[in-house]
Structure 1
């Protein structure tokens, strides 16, 4: 029996969603973790529902996963990406507002990279404003007319959670399905969000919606493109196969969830331990205890009463365990900066150096530059140009990038003549000590005009 439901998800998507069910709340922060409820903070076997609800409401997240993703993304974009000289001027102009939302290519790319680093992959689509009417007739005769009317290609990020499925014919992607929310006017002032499924195929696209009263998905619109392929680019950070991936920091995510649960236990333990318990030892069943600053209690013969307090041993053990978890998370999050040997790619490079050290994050930045080049090529194909050009990423991939640690060593090397003044200046700029707006050549000219410093030989 065939399945004609455009919203159905493939088993491969369902498997990835199991990972994202952990990652998404961690990226969303404390509120999202609380919303996940028992899925990420189990209820104790004998714990009452209201007691659990109170414990959940007081639990707070150490945002190790989200901050690690954010910090690594910031390293990749430590300097703005650079468009190559081979990028056509017409495409460079589009890059200043790549998504028709006022974001330039660099700002837009930060979100694409961050989402892929968190989830293992993320997709980008090059859309094009309509150039044909509902009957398929051309609205503009020439590319010049399209440009004059402001009709142009633009980029859209498709997050992994939107994807429903795909099909390949050999190695070629022939179908890609994802959900999207569309805002429509509702009355004079309101808006309503409508979910629809978009189906992309080479040379055409379709959208499906459910009727207002519910029911099956029905096609509500379709259109054609001038391309013979689906204008989709997928950036992988943890590729497991075509359009499938595993978050590269998934083990850190599990440790972060463990810390969330352990922190909740520790807070609950502190709440209990801070309140001493009064025990009364007597065989008199009629004895009544009154506790007040203005009254006294008369104990039966041989009776006793005393406060029992927590020794604090469990609290200390819990605190030590949390500190160990923080250290484990720090190590798991730093693995993207740990360098390993990788052979150079071409024979020409091999003649110059046998190998180079690259961290996984540096390699991801290189792959991301390739993905951006693919996007530029799709734009070029829409505009009838032969080449879209290339992009260069200038990130910071040093595992130790603390200026107070590395700068004294750099200054000592410069004083000893082991590195040039220009290299020292460049390294100072990379560490944010010197403004990026300054230029070495101009600075050197100023130094020559200034003359030697007082006391210099």
Structure 2
């Protein structure tokens, strides 16, 4: 698979994302906006909340400032990403003691095995896939031996690379990764007290690496090689974890449909807030009134005179039918979002029967359970690369295991489906509906 950034019209460079990345970027952007909460959605402005024809910019900004996000997507991600971590992640007993020690600080930043596994699983849930890079500290200088490296505590470490940061890739004739490009932002000192964010592109190829930067003062200058070197690995040390794979290093976010539903709720909520504001402010209507030199004064101790039999003065208020329809629409959307993550937790099997044995056999067949296995295998593969860098056998890395009890059996899934239908038909109220699905583990406890 060629790197699609090579040959893109308009002068593509090392920082140009490839076509596959660009095709999925709008989905990632939508999900990032929603997970960013009310502030991020307000900052997105007309991208997420269109301005109505004829609506002034001032009126639009007021309406936008009143709109508050109901984060159904965030709640689903929190529930699903928490399911496999009722128990800490473990490393098998046959792992080398040095590998076991590594798992207490896998990224040299304090994240242990459980913390990194949770971040990897959450990212795969939101983006469809995510990556783990195996890196190694820069050498101590020419002539440094393995003993010298160990003496200064040098060891490989893991870097979590979210899917939006991997902007380009290329595969060789054998189908293995031949090159990847990773967008990074690093903080550097700026004077005695300040710091500045520097954007760079990391290029990894079998046996070598390079960093590319451009002038901070002149952003239109071309990207230039800033640093580089060689590695002892004959492959790109990147491991990919897929949630819903669509191709080589491509995937569909499994919660994308929920994200679109959440966007619909955001827009409907804005309409509802606006119509409530209109309904709460009655309009004073007058007809055939006598107007003095100073106009008409409204308030206590004021007398307003009519002019003829058709004179009238009254407040006109909203009837309220649209308000109730909007309220019901929001409630229905919230109920659907509450169980949208259910599909990832349902244990599926080609031959489910009514017996407990068949239900137990289907226990590992939910999409969430499959993702848990993918995270286990990805972390195990990443640790095996670490072992190679430490001159250990791959099996010395051991095997990572997460809590396997992540799904709902067919009976539980059917019960929740019936609860949702009863709720949408108005046969049960929202508190009962939410309490029942929380009891079955679909929602986190309030």
> Aligning the two structures, in what range does the TM-score lie when normalised by the shorter sequence?
0.7 to 0.9
Whole-Å separation in 2 of the counterparts to 1:285 and 1:395: 79
- Residue 179 (structure 1) aligned with residue 188 (structure 2): no
Query: Aligned residue for 1:272?
Result: 278
**1:342–1:397 Cα change, 3 Å:** farther
- Residue 75 (structure 1) aligned with residue 83 (structure 2): yes
Contact 1:98 1:105 in 2 (8 A): yes
Whole-Å separation in 1 of the counterparts to 2:188 and 2:200: 12
Unpaired runs of at least 5, structure 1: 344-351, 406-430, 432-457
Query: Aligned residue for 1:434?
Result: none
Query: Aligned residue for 1:242?
Result: 248
Contact 2:347 2:407 in 1 (8 A): no
| CA displacement 1:351-371 (0-9 Å, x = unmatched) | x99953322111111111111
Whole-Å separation in 2 of the counterparts to 1:397 and 1:19: 26
Query: Aligned residue for 1:12?
Result: 20
Query: Aligned residue for 2:343?
Result: 335
Q: Which secondary structure does the structure 2 equivalent of 1:167 belong to?
A: strand
Whole-Å separation in 2 of the counterparts to 1:391 and 1:283: 82
Query: Aligned residue for 1:389?
Result: 398
Whole-Å separation in 1 of the counterparts to 2:94 and 2:350: 28
| CA displacement 1:168-195 (0-9 Å, x = unmatched) | 0131100000111111111111111111
Bigger drift between 198-207 and 75-84 goes to 75-84
TM-score by length of structure 2 reads 0.83
- Residue 291 (structure 1) aligned with residue 298 (structure 2): yes
How far did residue 4 of structure 1 move?
6.2
Structure 1 runs (4+) deviating above 6 angstroms are 283-287
Contact 2:368 2:407 in 1 (8 A): no
Query: Aligned residue for 2:199?
Result: 195
RMSD in angstroms over aligned alpha carbons?
2.4
How far did residue 330 of structure 1 move?
2.1
Unpaired runs of at least 5, structure 2: 1-5, 352-357, 416-440, 442-446
How far did residue 399 of structure 1 move?
3.4
| CA displacement 1:207-226 (0-9 Å, x = unmatched) | 11002332100001001111
**1:355–1:334 Cα change, 3 Å:** closer
Whole-Å separation in 1 of the counterparts to 2:327 and 2:59: 23
Whole-Å separation in 1 of the counterparts to 2:324 and 2:359: 53
What pairs up with 1:203-218 in 2 under 5 angstroms?
203-214=207-218, 215-218=221-224
Whole-Å separation in 2 of the counterparts to 1:362 and 1:52: 44
Whole-Å separation in 1 of the counterparts to 2:118 and 2:359: 32
- Residue 228 (structure 1) aligned with residue 237 (structure 2): no
Whole-Å separation in 2 of the counterparts to 1:160 and 1:207: 19
Query: Aligned residue for 1:29?
Result: 37
**1:354–1:276 Cα change, 3 Å:** closer
Q: Which has the larger radius of gyration?
A: 1
